[in-house]
Amino acid sequence: MAATAVLLLSCPDRTGVVAAVADFVWRHGGNIVDAEQHTDDVDGVFFQRVEFELDGFAFERDDLPKAFWAVAERFDMDVRVHFSDERPRLAILASKASHCLEDLLNRWRAGELPAEVALVASNHPDHRALAEFSGVPFHHLPVGDGPDGAARQEAAMIELLEREQVERVVLARYMRILSPTFVERFPSRIINIHHSFLPAFVGAQPYRQAHERGVKVIGATAHYVTAELDEGPIIDQDVARVSHRDSVAELARKGRDLEVAVLARAVRADLEHRVLPFGNRTVVFH
């Protein structure tokens, strides 16, 4: 398919925004193929995703942000410009559990995820064969002994990601807490899957917490990572009904089915430029 441009914008809600954006695209030879919008009535903020064909458009890609500046300045917009044929370099990090990693690699091989999977990295050696089967380099970065073992391992991970020019990071059940230094290097570019319906049961062993609480639904949450543990903007969630008959192991089994689907939807939405972070929330266009 021919490449398209995507404008992700937010601004104070006022009349004329939709008309101005559409007029800009039309006047410069573009054809809009998809447009979605949302108004947050509480904060008075307007959000829009506009996708249009580049074939015949008046401006080259590099000139598009500058060309759109007059519209953005007029409406006090925050604007992100993307292109549908972008293939960001993606790193998938996982610990011992393999279900999310395996699902993402399967979807990537099937062409469902518009990215270049640059590497798989883990603090355990378990996933080498899985990564190599998919033709993806595997890196084992164990956490060494001693009080500075975790810090040295994270420094090695950061060095690896920067050396491989990674642009997006997916935590596919990577059971390490990232430091603020790590997170700051990839703002709104790290996606985590948490095996709980946040904000309930943050931290470790959420299925055990859910069992002890006697919940009737369990969930999974994909979110952008921030310095605050499990507090980042939520991209996608889902739930499944459970009962008193379900053991912790059964809750975990049901939860794994949720985790793979929720994480895949979140990663794909991010890669297709359908997510607009807004404070500690997101607007996700479908």
Query: Would you state the pLDDT for residue 201?
Result: 67
Output DSSP code: residue 177: P
**Contact of 48 with 16, CB cutoff 8 Å:** no
Query: Would you state the pLDDT for residue 198?
Result: 66
Distance, in Å, from the CA atom of 178 to the CA atom of 186, rounded to the nearest integer, reads 11
Q: Find the helix packing angle between 99-109 and 248-271, rounded to 10°.
A: 30
Sign of the Cα pseudo-torsion (173, 174, 176, 180, in order): negative
Please report the domains of the chain, with CATH numbers, ordered by start residue. 4-83 (3.30.70.260), 89-284 (3.40.50.170)
Query: Would you state the pLDDT for residue 218?
Result: 85
Query: Which portions of the chain are predicted below pLDDT 70?
Result: 198-199, 201, 203-204
Query: Would you state the pLDDT for residue 195?
Result: 79
Query: Would you state the pLDDT for residue 35?
Result: 97
143: exposed, middle or buried (Cβ count in 10 Å: 0-12, 13-18, 19+): middle
CA angle 100, 187, 220 (to 5 degrees): 30
Model confidence pLDDT, tens digit, residues 207-238 = 788 888 888 888 899 999 999 888 899 999 99
Query: Would you state the pLDDT for residue 252?
Result: 86
**Which backbone phi and psi does 123 adopt, to 5 degrees?**
-85, 5
Query: Would you state the pLDDT for residue 130?
Result: 97
Active site residues: 230
CA R_g for the chain = 21
Query: Would you state the pLDDT for residue 74?
Result: 97
Query: Would you state the pLDDT for residue 258?
Result: 93
Query: Would you state the pLDDT for residue 78?
Result: 97
